[in-house]
């Protein structure tokens, strides 16, 4: 029962607010417009945020990881043919990562998607 009373009170408040026809004065509108124009001017004068594109990071991490794995394969595996084969596979995968990154840059908007924006604090404060 209590929920019904609360719901009817809320409905009455909503209906009363919908019937209000208060219009702000032109002076208030002018003051609000002036404040908005001032904020817009401050935002336009603000230097652009620093951006740091990280589109190359997956490629570099892939390249370093598989280069280290190739060196590990060459030093740990005693059989020369097997060690060269494992190092060749690591080299192939590193090149494939570079190729995939190049295709990703050409075909998609990866430079914009992997970007860090550093904004200065306290511009409007």
pLDDT along the chain (125 residues), means of 10: 67 80 79 84 71 85 95 94 95 94 84 76 52
pLDDT score recorded for residue 125:
43
Query: In this predicted structure, what is the pLDDT of residue 79?
Result: 94
Sign of CA pseudo-dihedral 29, 35, 41, 44? negative
Same domain, 108 and 67: yes
- Number of domains present in the structure of the chain: 2
pLDDT for 90 equals 95
| Predicted pLDDT at 62 | 95
- CB-hemisphere CA count at 13 Å for 109? 3
Predicted local distance difference test score (pLDDT) of residue 120 = 67
Using the Cα atoms of residue 92, residue 98, residue 100 and residue 102 in order, give the sign of their dihedral. Answer: negative
How far apart are the C-alpha atoms of 81 and 86, rounded to whole Å?
9
The pLDDT value given to residue 40: 82
**Does one domain contain both 37 and 59?**
no
Domain carrying residue 20: 1-45
- Do residues 122 and 93 both lie within one domain? yes
């Amino acid at each position: 029962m209590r929920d019904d009373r609360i719901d009817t009170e809320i409905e009455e408040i909503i209906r009363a607010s919908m019937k209000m026809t208060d219009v702000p004065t032109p002076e208030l509108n002018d003051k609000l417009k002036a404040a908005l124009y001032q904020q817009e001017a401050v935002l336009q004068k603000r230097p652009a945020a620093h951006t740091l594109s990280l589109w190359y990071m997956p490629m570099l991490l892939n390249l370093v990881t598989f280069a280290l794995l190739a060196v590990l394969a060459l030093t740990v595996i005693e059989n020369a043919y097997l060690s060269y084969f494992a190092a060749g596979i690591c080299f192939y995968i590193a090149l494939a990562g570079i190729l995939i990154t190049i295709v990703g840059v050409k075909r998609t908007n990866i430079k914009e998607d992997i970007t860090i924006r550093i904004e200065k604090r306290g511009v409007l404060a």
